[in-house]
Chain A
Amino acid sequence: MEAPPYAVFLFPSVSHALKAEKILKKQGIVYKLIPVPRHISTDCGVCLRVAVEQQELAAEALQGMVAWERMVLL
Chain B
Amino acid sequence: MKIIVDARGLACPQPVLLVKKAIGENEEVTVLVDNDIAVENIRRLAAKTACGFSVTEKEGGVREIALVRTGAAGQSPAGTGAEAGPSCGAAPGKEAGSVVVVLADNRMGRGDDVLGDVLIRAFIHTFLQLKPLPATIICYNAGVKLAVKDSAVLDDLQQLAQAGVDILVCGTCVNYFGLGDQIAAGRISNMYDILETMAGASRLVRP
Secondary structure at the A interface, as helix, strand, loop or mixed, is: strand
User: Is B121 among interface residues, defined by CB-CB distance under 8 A?
Assistant: yes
With the chains together, A68 CA to B152 CA distance in Å?
22
Nearest B-chain residue to A21, judged by Cβ: B118
A33 to B122, CA, bound (A): 7
Q: Is the CB of B122 within 8 A of A14?
A: no
The answer to the question of B203 belonging to the interface, with a C-beta cut-off of 8 Å to chain A, is no
Closest to B156 in A: A32
Chain B residue nearest to A15 (CB atoms) is: B114
The tally of residues in B whose CB lies under 8 Å from a CB in A reads: 9
Closest Cβ of chain B to A17, distance in Å, is 8
Contact B115 A33 (CB under 8 A): no
The answer to whether A18 and B118 have CB atoms under 8 Å apart is yes
Q: Are A14 and B118 in contact (CB under 8 A)?
A: yes
The residues of B that contact A46 with a CB separation of less than 8 Å are 118, 121-122
B 102-126 binary contact with A (CB < 8 Å = 1; else 0): 0000000000001100100110011
Which B residues lie within 8 Å of A33 (CB)?
118, 121-122, 152
Complex Cα–Cα for A34 and B155 (A): 12
B114 surroundings in chain A (CB, below 8 A): 18
Q: Is A12 an interface residue (CB 8 A)?
A: no
Q: How many whole Å from A68's CB to the nearest CB in chain B?
A: 16
Q: Is the CB of A32 within 8 A of B115?
A: no
The 7 closest A-B pairs by CB, nearest first: A35-B122, A34-B125, A33-B121, A46-B122, A35-B126, A46-B118, A14-B118
Known: A14-B115, A35-B126, A46-B121. 6 other contacts (CB 8 A): A14-B118, A18-B118, A33-B122, A34-B122, A35-B122, A46-B118
Q: 15 A-B contacts, Cβ less than 8 Å apart?
A: A14-B115, A17-B118, A18-B114, A18-B118, A32-B125, A32-B152, A32-B155, A33-B118, A33-B152, A34-B121, A34-B122, A34-B126, A35-B126, A46-B121, A46-B122
